[in-house]
């Protein structure tokens, strides 16, 4: 029995898979309600990434220079969670892609490196971004340091306070990190005036990072997003494409169940999109995005056009959303506290290609502890959502007496997230059910925005 399946550098996938070739998306809209043109995004993103964002080519070559950076940790291992299987006494075979082995500790560098590289090609000097849990900010700082770019990160205040060492990681790679809302931007200052004690949100931090980019009159500062957009999903598909090759080495043609946690959707897209391609072509696979019950974007949100940020600076995207003014409870899975969902993941859910699930944080921490005491690793609180669903599915397979193959994405380690573990172990955490009134409030706020055709 193989517990680790490794690929040689020569076996790394050389093209990304673009789901936009296989499912039809409605276009993002500008402030005038008309479909966005590439030029209208040029203040924020470099044209080479805008082209990728709008591309419907099925396969896109990965430049050699990007692969040369990724070889530091890719191809990432596919591991079999036999120790957890034994503890659960399940007939299921549980495999997981271990994205925690990247320098920053998560899947995020897969797109950070690609985005920094395309920006560098374009002539960008400074990159701005937001970060929730700090994983994305660390990943971008790492990528910028390798490519000689400056990096400015707006980190959601609650995470900034809970995870001070993330800031140190960013600074070690040469990045600058500000607690958001900050006084660095007009939008941040306004939020702080109105809500001085706000825990912040990804939506506000995005607004700040976009403002910091577009206010550079020389045009050499650009904005990067760590999730949600099509090109980010694209860069992450290397995860699922590697997993396919690794499963094939074991003689497994396809998993029965695929599981990933979802914040903006990118690690889930990474593991699942290459298999959604197979599902569209007739394979039977259950594909489960898992979100926090306190921020239930796909399971309870609205499918409509909404802004990606709180201040309404981004284009309108057709997606599942809890409304751009939604400020989620300060749960420890900071990277899952986002009001929206990637348009590609949203459309896949709309078409029934994926079956979303929400889980409360206590069940997730319980699962993460079981994982740590069987498999060994201490996972990020975001990842614990995928683990909780994996355990649910493994126990279901036991009940049904089926030898299912489950593939999960282990999106990151939790070495910087120990405060959450300590609060859970001390019994200080509780679950939070989002009241229906909050969804109704979002519905009322979104009613005047354009509706899908």
Ligand X SMILES: Cc1ncc(COP(=O)(O)O)c(C=O)c1O
Closest approach of Cβ 241 to ligand X, in Å? 17
Closest CA to 152 of 124, 126, 132, 117: 126
* Among residues 130, 242, 382, 393, the one that binds ligand X under rule CB under 6 A: 382
CA-based Rg of the chain, rounded to a whole angstrom? Answer: 20
Closest approach of Cβ 400 to ligand X, in Å? 29
Contacts of ligand X in 265-284 (CB under 6 A): 265-268
- DSSP-derived 3-state class of residue 217: coil
Closest approach of Cβ 229 to ligand X, in Å? 10
Length of the chain: 453
Site string for ligand X, 396-425 (x = CB under 6 A): ---------------xx-------------
Identify which range of 131-139, 187-195, 209-217, 320-328 contacts ligand X by CB under 6 A. 131-139
Which region, left, alpha or beta, applies to residue 105 given φ > 0 means left and ψ of -120 to 50 means alpha? Answer: left
Closest approach of Cβ 97 to ligand X, in Å? 12
Identify which range of 80-88, 133-141, 184-192, 294-302 contacts ligand X by CB under 6 A. 133-141
Judge contact between 143 and 112, C-beta under 8 A.
yes
Contacts of 44 (CB under 8 A, 6+ apart): 210, 213, 214, 222, 223
Identify which range of 43-51, 67-75, 297-305, 377-385 contacts ligand X by CB under 6 A. 377-385
Tell me the pairing of strands 316-321 and 302-307: antiparallel
Residue 336 near ligand X by CB under 6 A? yes
* Among residues 335, 343, 377, 420, the one that binds ligand X under rule CB under 6 A: 335
Residue 227 near ligand X by CB under 6 A? yes
**Residues 240, 123: Cα–Cα separation, whole Å:** 31
What backbone phi and psi angles, to 5 degrees, belong to 103?
Answer: -55, -40
Site string for ligand X, 242-261 (x = CB under 6 A): -------------------x
**Residues 28, 54: Cα–Cα separation, whole Å:** 10
- DSSP-derived 3-state class of residue 257: strand
Nearer to ligand X, 226 or 255 (CB): 226
Closest CA to 442 of 317, 289, 299, 300: 300
* Among residues 18, 52, 76, 106, the one that binds ligand X under rule CB under 6 A: 106
Nearer to ligand X, 344 or 429 (CB): 344
**Residues 309, 285: Cα–Cα separation, whole Å:** 33
Q: Evaluate the omega torsion of the peptide bond into residue 120 and state whether it is cis, within 30 degrees of 0.
A: no
Residue 264 near ligand X by CB under 6 A? yes
What backbone phi and psi angles, to 5 degrees, belong to 96?
Answer: -140, 140
Identify which range of 216-224, 311-319, 376-384, 442-450 contacts ligand X by CB under 6 A. 376-384
Nearer to ligand X, 192 or 386 (CB): 386
Q: How far is CA 31 from CA 52, 101, 313, 315, 322, in A?
A: 22, 41, 9, 7, 20
* Among residues 19, 69, 262, 397, the one that binds ligand X under rule CB under 6 A: 262
Closest approach of Cβ 109 to ligand X, in Å? 11
Residues that bind ligand X (CB under 6 A): 106, 132-133, 135-136, 227, 261-268, 335-336, 380, 382-383, 411-412
């Amino acid at each position: 029995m193989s517990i680790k399946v490794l690929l040689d550098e020569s076996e790394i996938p050389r093209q990304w898979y673009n789901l936009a070739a296989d499912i039809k998306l409605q276009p993002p809209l500008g402030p005038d309600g008309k479909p966005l043109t590439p030029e209208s995004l040029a203040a924020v993103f470099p044209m080479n990434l805008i082209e990728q964002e709008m591309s419907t080519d099925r396969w896109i070559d990965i430049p050699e220079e990007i692969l040369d950076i990724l070889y530091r940790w890719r191809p990432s291992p596919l591991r079999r969670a036999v120790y957890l299987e034994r503890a659960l006494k399940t007939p299921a075979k549980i495999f997981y892609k271990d994205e925690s082995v990247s320098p920053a500790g998560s899947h995020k560098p897969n797109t950070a490196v690609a985005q920094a590289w395309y920006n560098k090609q374009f002539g960008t000097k400074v990159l701005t971004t937001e970060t929730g849990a700090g994983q994305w900010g660390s990943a971008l700082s790492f990528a910028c340091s390798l490519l000689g770019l400056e990096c400015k990160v707006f980190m959601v205040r609650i995470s900034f306070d809970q995870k001070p060492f993330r800031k140190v990681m960013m600074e070690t790679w040469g990045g600058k990190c500000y607690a958001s809302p900050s006084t660095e931007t007009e939008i941040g200052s306004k939020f702080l005036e109105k809500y001085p004690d706000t825990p912040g949100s990804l939506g506000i931090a995005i607004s700040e990072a976009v403002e910091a980019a577009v206010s550079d009159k020389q045009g050499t500062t650009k904005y990067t997003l760590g999730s949600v957009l099509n090109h980010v999903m694209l860069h992450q598909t290397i995860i699922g494409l590697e997993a396919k090759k690794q499963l094939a080495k074991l003689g497994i043609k396809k998993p029965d169940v695929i599981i990933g946690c979802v914040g903006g959707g990118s690690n889930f897209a990474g593991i699942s999109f290459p298999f959604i391609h197979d599902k569209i072509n007739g394979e039977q696979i259950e594909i489960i995005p898992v979100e926090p019950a306190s921020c239930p974007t796909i399971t309870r949100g609205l499918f409509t056009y909404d802004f990606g940020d709180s201040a309404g600076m981004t284009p309108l995207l057709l997606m599942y959303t809890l409304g751009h003014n939604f400020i989620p409870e300060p749960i420890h899975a900071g990277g899952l506290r986002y009001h929206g969902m990637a348009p590609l993941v949203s459309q896949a859910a709309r078409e029934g290609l994926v079956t979303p699930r929400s889980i409360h944080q206590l069940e997730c921490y319980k699962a993460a502890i079981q994982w740590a005491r069987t498999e060994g690793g201490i996972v990020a609180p975001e990842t614990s959502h995928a683990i909780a669903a994996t355990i649910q599915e493994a126990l279901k397979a036991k009940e049904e007496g089926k030898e299912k193959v489950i593939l999960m994405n282990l999106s990151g380690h939790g070495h910087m997230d120990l405060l959450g573990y300590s609060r859970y172990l001390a019994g200080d955490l509780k679950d939070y059910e989002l009241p229906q009134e909050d969804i109704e409030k979002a519905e009322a706020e979104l009613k005047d925005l354009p509706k899908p055709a």
